[in-house]
Structure 1
Amino acid sequence: MSLHTKLVGAAATLVAATAVCAAPTRPGSDPAPTISTTGMTYVALGDSAAAAPLVPYQADPPGCLKSTNDYPSVLARGIGARSFSDVTCSGATTADVTYRAQQTRRGSVAPQIDAIGVDTELITVTIGGNDIGLAGSASKCRRASLSLPACFDDLAATGEDRFSAAIRRQIPVWEDMVDAIRTRAPGARIVLVGYGTYVRPGGCFGRQPINPRDADYFQAKVDELDEAQRALATRKQVDFFDTRPVSVGHDMCAAAEDRYFEGFVLSHEAAPLHPNGMGAAAVANALAQHLATTPTNT
């Protein structure tokens, strides 16, 4: 059975099971696999945007703040992966993916790439936000009043934009990462999974304490990062999956029942400025459809 055939069958199953997958699931309590156990071997790499920190329930190792309901886990359950290794870890950078043991508050974890074997068939990667310092900077931009200076005033008022410059510097690093992954698993389908629509234009200051200028600025930087990785994926002949369309209208400003990304003011169990359980399930569902209907670039 070809990889594409496996994915076509699995995608229909995952669409039907999305509501089930979105509900918090304790380890070991999943229903029986919905397709044959001759499914794929799947390895998930990435940072907290993939790991979904503080979304129930915590997976090992505890230092990675990884959820059993992050998008890789929901995807793996839905497609009935024959084997699945989720080595995503909050705080990870590309170095932690490719060669460095990441130091967490609960100890070190091996380089994520070590989870890949020559027989791995599917690899998803969400990485880059920590490389350029975007997540850390955004987390410091909570503003209780519009009379307070916007973060934008410091971040973008010195000439060259620091995040744009960092993205340009990281492009060859991300290219090397793709090469290293392909060397480990020459036959795998590699998918760079982008970051989402965290906040709508102008933000929603009455609901989330973010200056409108900062809301637009940080989303623009997310967009710039995603577009850089899309272009990189084309050059390296791997997939890029854009999660921004999935999350339009489901950003941190959305009503609780529609929200995929949490802001500083939370509506669901999740880390601020990160996906919640509904967001992770939505990405998994859309990604399964992408895999089943879009030919690989490799």
Structure 2
Amino acid sequence: MLSIRRYMLPGLSLILASLVFPIMFSTGAYAVSQYDNAYNHVDQLKIVQNNYNGVTCDPLDITMTYQSYLNNSAKWYPTTSAFATTMQAYKSSFAQARQAGSWTVSVVLVNDGSGGYTSIVRINWFEDDPGKLVFKGTSPNTQVEYQSTTDTQGHYAFISTIDFARPYGSTDAGNCTPHVYAVGDFVANANEETYAVVSTEGAFSWTPTSSSEMGHWANLFATSTNVQYPTGYEGAAISANSPTATYVAMGDSFSSGEGNPPFEYGTDSASDKCHRSPNAYPRLLQSDSSLSLGSTAFVACSGATTDDVLNGGSGAGNWGEGPQVDALLSDTEVVTITIGGNNIKFAEFAHACLFGSCNSSSDEYQESWDVMTDLTRSDYLPSQLDSLFSDIAFHLWQNTSVKVYVVGYPYVITQASWNDRGVGICSDFDEDEAIAAETIVSKLDTVIETAVTDFDDSRFVYVDPLATGSPFLGHELCRNGSYFNGIETSGALGGDDAYVFHPDTNGQQAYADLIRSYMS
């Protein structure tokens, strides 16, 4: 029977990936030891669940987004009546560990005894203890343990789709929505040092096929603590650094790829409609080997405003994912972002164009215009953009070479494209509405470009989709060869009104081509 304290049920944190702790390695050449296979490393944090107690979930890679969980109360499972107190206590405790203690992050594969399995992402920490990693056991059952140096009480939490509201071993398999679970402390006793297993000898696969691969195998992802290598050790050196995103793709629906289903797992459900598409320009840039962007945090979310990017939220535009700026780390080299459209309520303006009137006399047009021009408004867009840029710069203050590409919005429809409309196309618009839409986008891009210029930071670059030579020009709505979803294409995709006015796959490719031209 496995000790629940030995194989601590996991956890992890939103803040963690932003930390870089020193690690000390022993040096010297040794003869081979029985511990050479004790250290198993994973370079991804994935939640997988295959027929675990009869429930299967699509794999979810949270390597670059797991930081958003611990700091987001909506993601915590209320395991006790004192849930809020428990959550805050754990968050405060981990913050203390970041300052004066140590931590480990690992993945544990758990089986249900009937051929099903699930993975758990776990974090263990000591608040005021530097900790140590030691090698224990006898091959083929060796392991790496995270121990205190002073029998200090440790803590742990975990992220999983399993519903552990009931005791460990419960047959409740969850609902495929990842949550953070705080399940207790691990404590020392008279006979044993405080520890948690962070790596075990044995086969590991994200898709295990045999019972030997479906045990409680622990696999280390990252650590901040010291390592005590055994004499004769010739295995792999234990890595301290967790992967950090060198490319962070932030922003709203024009960056998330709204209107281009199917969307990435976890971003198209009743509880999260960020609608990140594998065909969105961030994924196209990421896959371009000539750019060498490296690891990517794709955190753009349909409906996002500047406030969602800065502060997160539980509703549309963030869906409880946490502040997008939390993905920015000292190692970040490239940032892309489209933002501002939702601040001026462009979606409401577009809806009026389709189902009412959006000409320059309409309330929707006037509202969008006022947000961009009325200095007395609390939501005055230039001020909102300046605050956002300041916060991004603060997160990236250590990196003087980073480039933040602030990307404007292309013309969706223009007076010229309406006049060039094909037969049966754009019957939902009149010329005045086309002029109004063109004017709003032109003004919005001017406001964004001016905000970038006034911010006066050479790391921030405005990307202009309206400039001469832009791949968008000539591909507005109403023209044959349009790069945007209209009502006709939205219906064909089985979509809803939200798809309309958004770049289609050709439009996302145009965005990628445009941004790439600024990177070269």
Distance in 2, matches of 1:156 and 1:108, equals: 28
* Residue of structure 1 in register with 2:338 after alignment: 126
> Which residue identity lines up with residue 76 of structure 1 in the other structure?
Q
- Contact 1:103/1:109, CA 8 A, preserved across alignment: no
Instruction: Provide the secondary structure at the position in 1 that maps to 2:404.
Output: strand
After TM superposition, the structure 1 stretch with the greater mean CA deviation from structure 2, 165-174 or 119-128, is: 165-174
Deviation readout 1:206-262 (Å, 9 max, x if unpaired): 41111211111012111101011111111223210011333111111222xx22112
After TM superposition, the structure 1 stretch with the greater mean CA deviation from structure 2, 108-117 or 264-273, is: 264-273
Instruction: Provide the secondary structure at the position in 1 that maps to 2:362.
Output: helix
User: Are 1:214 and 2:433 an aligned pair?
Assistant: yes
Kindly report which structure 2 residues correspond to 1:120-159, keeping only aligned pairs within 5 A, or say none.
120-142=332-354, 151-155=359-363
The root-mean-square deviation of aligned C-alpha atoms, in Å, is: 2.6
CA gap 1:106/1:216 in 2 versus in 1, 3 angstroms: closer
> Which residue identity lines up with residue 140 of structure 1 in the other structure?
A
* Residue of structure 2 in register with 1:231 after alignment: 450
* Residue of structure 1 in register with 2:414 after alignment: 200
> Which residue identity lines up with residue 248 of structure 2 in the other structure?
V
Q: Report the TM-score when normalising by structure 1.
A: 0.75
CA gap 1:44/1:105 in 2 versus in 1, 3 angstroms: closer
User: Are 1:280 and 2:508 an aligned pair?
Assistant: yes
* Residue of structure 1 in register with 2:4 after alignment: none
User: Are 1:64 and 2:64 an aligned pair?
Assistant: no
Which one of the candidate residues 81, 87, 90 is aligned to 2:302?
90
Distance in 1, matches of 2:259 and 2:487, equals: 14
Q: Which runs of 5+ in 1 are unaligned?
A: 1-26, 29-39, 293-298
> Which residue identity lines up with residue 415 of structure 2 in the other structure?
P
Equivalences, count: 246
- Contact 1:150/1:211, CA 8 A, preserved across alignment: no
- Contact 2:359/2:436, CA 8 A, preserved across alignment: no
Distance in 1, matches of 2:353 and 2:425, equals: 15
Q: Report the TM-score when normalising by structure 2.
A: 0.44
Shift of 1:54: 3.4
Which one of the candidate residues 452, 456, 462 is aligned to 1:240?
462
Deviation readout 1:120-160 (Å, 9 max, x if unpaired): 011111011110112222123225xxxx8664432389xxx
- Contact 1:260/1:277, CA 8 A, preserved across alignment: yes
Distance in 2, matches of 1:286 and 1:52, equals: 16
Distance in 2, matches of 1:282 and 1:141, equals: 24
Distance in 2, matches of 1:41 and 1:76, equals: 10
CA gap 1:149/1:200 in 2 versus in 1, 3 angstroms: closer
Higher helix proportion (structure 1 or 2) = 1
- Contact 1:65/1:90, CA 8 A, preserved across alignment: yes
- The structure whose RCO (Cα within 8 Å, separation 6+) is larger is 1
Instruction: Provide the secondary structure at the position in 2 that maps to 1:192.
Output: strand
Higher strand proportion (structure 1 or 2) = 2
Instruction: Provide the secondary structure at the position in 2 that maps to 1:59.
Output: coil
Q: Which runs of 5+ in 2 are unaligned?
A: 1-59, 62-244, 268-272, 374-379
Distance in 2, matches of 1:252 and 1:232, equals: 28
